[in-house]
Structure 1
Amino acid sequence: MAFSILAGCSGNSSSGTAQNAVLNLEVGSEPPSLDPPKGFDSVSFDILNNVMEGLTRLDKNHEPQPAMAEKWEISPDKKTYTFTLRDSKWSNGDPVTAHDFEFAWKRMLDPNNAFPSAFLGHYIEGAEAYNSGKGSVDDVKVKALDDKTLQVTLRAPTGFFLDLVSTPSFFPVHKATVEKNKNWSADAPTILSNGPFVLKEWKHDQSLKAVKNENYWDKDAVKIDEVNWSIVAEINTAYQMYQTNQLDAIEQVPPDLKKRLLDSGEAKSIPEASIYYYRMNTKMEPFQNKNIRKAFALAIDRKLLVEQVVQGGQTPALAHVPPGFKEPDGKDFRETGGNYIEDNNVAKAKELLEKGMKEEGYTTLPPVTMTYNTSEAHKVIAEALQQMYKKNLGVDVKLENKEWKVFLAEQRARKLQFSRSTIPADYADPLNYLELYQTDHPGNRVNYSNKEYDALVKKITQTADEKERFQLMHKAEEIFMEDMPLVPIYFGKKTFMEKPHVTGIVRHPVGNRELKWAQITKK
């Protein structure tokens, strides 16, 4: 099915920029949701980022620039932002207004909706109280002063706020459509766009198609007429489709070919602020015990895993927050914080496992199941970890894989014992990684709870002095790594392949794939 979806659909001209430029891409699974605050995952964001747009959009240099907002003013205390919207339209011709943003953001925060991305809005004054059911929507300091003016007041100065509102969770939604049809985001005809492209077709579990949005304010910058995303779960299948010119670019490369393709220059690798790790559910045996968790974190050889299995030039992760975030003095947060664990310290791992088992009264370790979402790349990593745990700790670990939507739902419901995650940054600040593990935070999928950690993260969000704030973030990471509710594996890089006739796709170190400036040139 995957091979037939896109066959013959390339309409590229033979010279110059294509007049009927068609870009054929892949995504690894069906998007869980194309409702902006609900589709809080990399697959959904990849689509949403190109068919919708927020107040700002990251440019080719990864900096937030005016998008739906043509300008803004920031108050002297750096807490109140007043955005002036440009003249722009939804794909049905209705104007995009400040009221759309107010409605969308308060909808994101509505506790009755339980959207997974709602926590991102907690930087707004009154938002956390409303989202937690302790406050009123009227106390949320987001207000459309008129059709073209949106005013937002934050609870404390937030230097990354303009970056934050470029993410899909903060995109506007068309109020009349949302209120008329509760299933509006399930199919292409009822999804209104305000971004570079309009979603025209969604064949569930097969493909999506978008076309250039003629109502987009910056339509002259958009050179692609049609984008086709083929849903391809298997990396090897996507690679074969790329080799046979059914795909113009792929975002993953078969693990066994990666080194050769990178060495030859056929594949490329760029930095990404992300971490690949396994979560340990602290309310499921045996991971309620800190020493057992530490044993699992120390007993693997990350260097070997990266060089021989993952093969993308990644860096072994010996902490939680990845590189890519600058401190006030210009140094990288990770450089300043350093490492918290040793790689492949088998002797220490055995000692900690024995200690933890004694503490719990175990003579035999309870069964451990590692769960990953279906993917050849995740499978080979899981198999390597399984072998390491057997060799280094004498522990038999069972492996299981689940389809992405099922996996994500079960992990969010905290039903998985030991499960895979890749966490790319939602915004350009280390706090993004630290806030996820507050007690009962929706991003905390392992039941981790530490009152000292919670208090510290809360203090960080209320600290205006950047030097002090970064010091507090290092302290929070130290506490977190001492408790070790996860097994960090590696800090990420984006490895991809694209045809020579494709230019202008922007892949942000923090952010999503941008197709706005993509072009198809002479083949």
Structure 2
Amino acid sequence: MSFKSRTGKIFSALTLTLSLLGAPIAQADTTLRIGNQGEPASLDPHFLSGDWENRIAGDLFMGLTTEDPEGNAIPGAAESWTVSDDGLVYTFKIRDHKWSDGQPVTAQDFEYAMRRILLPETAAEYASLLYIIKNGEELNTGKAKPEDLGVHALDDKTLEITLKGPAPFLISMLTHYTAFPVPKHIVEKYGKDWTKKEHIATNGPYKLVEWLPNTHVKVTKNEQFWDTANVKIDNVIFYPQEDAAALIKRMRAGEIDCIYKFPSGQIDWLRQNMPEETKIAPYLGTYYYPINTKRAPFTDKRIRQALSMAIDREIIMDKVLKTGELPAYSMVPPGTSNYKEPSYVTWKSMPMADRITKAKELMKEAGYGDGKNLKVQLRYNTDDNHKRIAIAVAQMWKKIGVETELFNSEVKVHYAELKQGNFEVARAGWVADYNDPQNFLFLLESTSKSLNYGNYDNPDYDKLMEEAYLESDLKKRAQIMGKAEAIAMEDAPIIPIYYYVSKNLVSTKIKGWKDAINDTHRTRWLSIEN
């Protein structure tokens, strides 16, 4: 018998003996493989804008607050905080923890990060989310200095944030990647290259192993994370593949453990063949079509209104999606916190036949009809659902004399074009970063820059939203935002299509997955049972 054979038998016998005696046996590393359906634009939290990027960033970094398994805000990098009587000053105590390179995470890292994302030269697309901070907008528009921002490190472990007005959503908002810290000592040393594998340091439960563009992003457990002892999954691989049907095949072959946003067209097959893996839950988000209000003829409100009225949302829900979505007639979804009810379009209850008649009248008033058709390019990013909805919408628009050209591109390119205003009508979606109507309505503020895809600009709307920022009475605040939403729904810079439900496929071996209103499922709460 060879030495190799003898040692193999000895090891097998020893393993059996130890198991019988109850001794622990080392387990192989666990790896979670995610069909993420999107290539990240960056790993720098200041240059992200999509939920597919949020899944990666949320494993690598942790803000002052973070999400529990159900998506609720809980203490994160801050172990506690206090709030002044007027609700304008929050004082956070930073917990003792380190960056993945062993350097302490300090209040100065948060101060540096929030100043950095708001600097005009950073050109962060999501900076306006932090405008609630005192002098946030002023810094972002070059009217204030970094030291004027209402974020100050009082010492290494104490961070003070001063707001320009009461913000009942602040603790929830701070879970978002715009409020994540960045390692000041590394960013200042390496500049834009700080996120490269050989440089990057993170304070979340995972750290970067490799990023092969258009192939995968791999992260591994961060031994410096303050709660690493309770992180059960060792590695996570995010695959950017956007072909959901191909991902489902890979999942059935055992190559993928979780797929975000399966196509609704697969629902009947999934319910028959993968019922335990199919997860559908309420989701605080709106699927909509922004319209480029700066490009003729869409500068005409009547055309925008007609395009919206002609879409039969109920048919899309019942015949195209079939997964429990609700037809949308507002930007803010029903059930959003701190809001009584959305301000719906005035024609919400109008019968469909009457809506078509009215839409034709509006088109005629705008100079179309009698053989003169409006030609529209409708853009959407690669996804079976988006394609099927776009085809249905194009058929509906035919009824009011609109000829539609469909244009498809991958998600990264699609959103880049939207942010540059290179579109006429396009598909977009928004999922709440925090449960408050302001997180939907700020998208239509003229100051929201690249997130206000259609370049909507109404001074009355902006003024009301500014009033809402400063109002401390929640009832009055809701009324003010309701008036603002009513103005926007009348102006029709967007076409709401439906309110989301989350649609994910989750392997039965993944434990700890819970329904979350924001569809955020951080890996630190999950485990794998093989």
Distance, in Å, in 1 between the alignment partners of 2:254 and 2:347 is 44
Structure with higher Rg: it is 2
Alignment of 1:376 onto 2:389: no
> 5 Å matches for 1:467-482?
467-482=475-490
Alignment of 1:69 onto 2:78: yes
Equivalent residue in structure 1 for 2:441, among 411, 418, 434: 434
Equivalent residue in structure 2 for 1:351, among 353, 358, 363: 358
Distance 1:67-1:307 versus aligned 2 partners, 3 A rule: same
Return the letter of the residue paired with 2:348: E
1:457-494 deviation digits (Å, cap 9, x = unpaired): 11000101111001111111111111111111100000
CA RMSD of aligned residues (A): 2.2
Q: Which residue of 2 aligns with 1:416?
A: 423
Return the letter of the residue paired with 1:53: M
Alignment of 1:516 onto 2:524: yes
1:418-448 deviation digits (Å, cap 9, x = unpaired): 0110100121100111111112422211121
Q: Which residue of 1 aligns with 2:403?
A: 396
Return the letter of the residue paired with 1:395: V
Return the letter of the residue paired with 1:216: F
Return the letter of the residue paired with 2:444: Y
Equivalent residue in structure 1 for 2:58, among 30, 49, 66: 49
Equivalent residue in structure 2 for 1:25, among 22, 26, 34: 34
Q: Which residue of 1 aligns with 2:309?
A: 298
Shift of 1:349: 3.5
SS in structure 1 at match of 2:160:
strand
Shift of 1:119: 0.6
Q: Which residue of 1 aligns with 2:509?
A: 501
TM-score, structure 2 as length reference: 0.90
Total equivalences in the alignment: 503
SS in structure 2 at match of 1:116:
coil
Distance, in Å, in 2 between the alignment partners of 1:414 and 1:508 is 33
SS in structure 1 at match of 2:217:
strand
SS in structure 2 at match of 1:383:
helix
Distance, in Å, in 1 between the alignment partners of 2:232 and 2:329 is 43
Distance 1:63-1:16 versus aligned 2 partners, 3 A rule: farther
SS in structure 2 at match of 1:37:
helix
Equivalent residue in structure 2 for 1:445, among 449, 453, 456: 453
Kindly indicate whether the alpha-carbon contact (under 8 Å) linking 1:196 and 1:222 is maintained by their aligned counterparts in 2: yes
SS in structure 2 at match of 1:88:
coil
Kindly indicate whether the alpha-carbon contact (under 8 Å) linking 1:298 and 1:346 is maintained by their aligned counterparts in 2: no
SS in structure 2 at match of 1:57:
strand
Q: Which residue of 1 aligns with 2:175?
A: 166
Kindly indicate whether the alpha-carbon contact (under 8 Å) linking 1:368 and 1:398 is maintained by their aligned counterparts in 2: yes
> 5 Å matches for 1:94-133?
94-133=103-142
Q: Which residue of 1 aligns with 2:348?
A: 342
Distance 1:96-1:120 versus aligned 2 partners, 3 A rule: same
Equivalent residue in structure 2 for 1:58, among 44, 48, 67: 67
Equivalent residue in structure 2 for 1:79, among 88, 95, 104: 88
Q: Which residue of 2 aligns with 1:387?
A: 395
Kindly indicate whether the alpha-carbon contact (under 8 Å) linking 2:69 and 2:513 is maintained by their aligned counterparts in 1: no
Shift of 1:176: 2.2
Equivalent residue in structure 1 for 2:465, among 457, 462, 469: 457
Distance, in Å, in 1 between the alignment partners of 2:516 and 2:199 is 29
Alignment of 1:485 onto 2:498: no
Return the letter of the residue paired with 1:425: A
Kindly indicate whether the alpha-carbon contact (under 8 Å) linking 1:235 and 1:377 is maintained by their aligned counterparts in 2: no
Alignment of 1:136 onto 2:145: yes
In the alignment, structure 2 segments of 5+ residues that lack a partner are: 1-18
Return the letter of the residue paired with 2:80: K
Q: Which residue of 1 aligns with 2:6?
A: none
Distance, in Å, in 2 between the alignment partners of 1:316 and 1:17 is 51
Shift of 1:266: 4.0
In the alignment, structure 1 segments of 5+ residues that lack a partner are: 1-13
TM-score, structure 1 as length reference: 0.91
Kindly indicate whether the alpha-carbon contact (under 8 Å) linking 2:276 and 2:508 is maintained by their aligned counterparts in 1: no
> 5 Å matches for 1:222-301?
222-262=231-271, 264-301=275-312
Equivalent residue in structure 2 for 1:313, among 324, 343, 348: 324
Kindly indicate whether the alpha-carbon contact (under 8 Å) linking 1:27 and 1:232 is maintained by their aligned counterparts in 2: yes
1:358-417 deviation digits (Å, cap 9, x = unpaired): 345786244210001122221111111112212x22321000011222211110111211
Return the letter of the residue paired with 1:292: I
Shift of 1:228: 1.0
SS in structure 2 at match of 1:257:
helix
Distance, in Å, in 2 between the alignment partners of 1:411 and 1:296 is 19
Kindly indicate whether the alpha-carbon contact (under 8 Å) linking 1:18 and 1:520 is maintained by their aligned counterparts in 2: no
Which range moves more in the overlay, 170-179 or 462-471? 170-179
Q: Which residue of 2 aligns with 1:11?
A: none
Paired-residue identity, %: 34
Q: Which residue of 1 aligns with 2:186?
A: 177
SS in structure 2 at match of 1:393:
coil
Distance 1:322-1:259 versus aligned 2 partners, 3 A rule: farther
Return the letter of the residue paired with 2:297: P
Distance, in Å, in 2 between the alignment partners of 1:313 and 1:188 is 41
Return the letter of the residue paired with 2:193: W
Kindly indicate whether the alpha-carbon contact (under 8 Å) linking 1:242 and 1:249 is maintained by their aligned counterparts in 2: yes
Which range moves more in the overlay, 350-359 or 54-63? 350-359
Distance 1:366-1:303 versus aligned 2 partners, 3 A rule: closer
Kindly indicate whether the alpha-carbon contact (under 8 Å) linking 1:280 and 1:418 is maintained by their aligned counterparts in 2: yes
SS in structure 2 at match of 1:464:
coil
Pick the structure with more helix per residue. 2
Distance 1:502-1:260 versus aligned 2 partners, 3 A rule: same
Return the letter of the residue paired with 2:479: Q
Q: Which residue of 2 aligns with 1:5?
A: none
Shift of 1:141: 1.2
Kindly indicate whether the alpha-carbon contact (under 8 Å) linking 2:263 and 2:383 is maintained by their aligned counterparts in 1: no
Kindly indicate whether the alpha-carbon contact (under 8 Å) linking 2:139 and 2:146 is maintained by their aligned counterparts in 1: yes
Q: Which residue of 2 aligns with 1:193?
A: 202
Which range moves more in the overlay, 199-208 or 185-194? 185-194
